[in-house]
Chain A
Amino acid sequence: KNEVEQSPQNLTAQEGEFITINCSYSVGISALHWLQQHPGGGIVSLFMLSSGKKKHGRLIATINIQEKHSSLHITASHPRDSAVYICAGGSQGNLIFGKGTKLSVKP
């Protein structure tokens, strides 16, 4: 079992839909990171959170420390949101990555 698990593995949505990607972790972490990887491979850091909730534009990330669970939400999804979303737990100066959720938003 991976220390950081994401679900779903693949997700197809229609433009405008509300999207949720889930992440559970079984190790102690100091911070939870959400990353976005575009088809070319480049990775962008979306959020880093250690408690509560953060919002940036149409993206919202939440974390429940007690339940060791985090969610990434995308409101009013758009085809340009299509990418792989990766959850990673920060621990002892390193990141432990989930395998990613491949999101495809259809127009």
Chain B
Amino acid sequence: SQTIHQWPATLVQPVGSPLSLECTVEGTSNPNLYWYRQAAGRGLQLLFYSVGIGQISSEVPQNLSASRPQDRQFILSSKKLLLSDSGFYLCAWSAGTAVSGYTFGSGTRLTVV
């Protein structure tokens, strides 16, 4: 069966520090991978999605970046965190067809102080 792992669950980082959140998927190949952010009091917003290794599409300009070094690994990074980067980050995967279901990771709650 397919599973998705996301870590860490909670992170407190100072302003200006780097960030690396990791997401891995098991039990499937060539998944579509997504990074979403949920800021306090707001809905989920797509940050990045990837349809294959090394293929990254960005939806929102920001100081975050994403990479997909392996088929089932998706990494969200920042060189220097801002206070506004605080939020709840979710990784998800889908098979990528028009009616594919989505499976979400457990999320990372990031607080930038």
Write the residues of chain A forming the contact surface with B, with a CB cutoff of 8 angstroms: 2, 30-31, 33, 35, 40-45, 48, 50, 86, 88, 90, 93-95, 97-100
Contacts and interface: CB of A to CB of B under 8 A. Distances in A.
Contacts of B90: 41, 43
Given A45-B102, A90-B100, 17 more contacts: A30-B98, A31-B98, A35-B104, A41-B38, A41-B109, A43-B90, A43-B107, A45-B101, A45-B103, A45-B104, A48-B99, A48-B102, A93-B32, A94-B34, A95-B44, A95-B102, A98-B43
B49 A41 contact: no
Interface of B: 32, 34, 38, 42-46, 49, 51, 88, 90, 94, 96, 98-104, 106-107, 109
B28 to A, nearest CB: 15
11 contacts: A30-B99, A40-B106, A41-B90, A42-B104, A45-B103, A90-B99, A90-B100, A93-B51, A97-B43, A99-B43, A100-B43
Q: Taking chain B's interface residues, is the majority helix, strand, or loop, or is none over half, making it mixed?
A: strand
- Majority-rule SS of A interface residues: strand
A31 B99 contact: yes
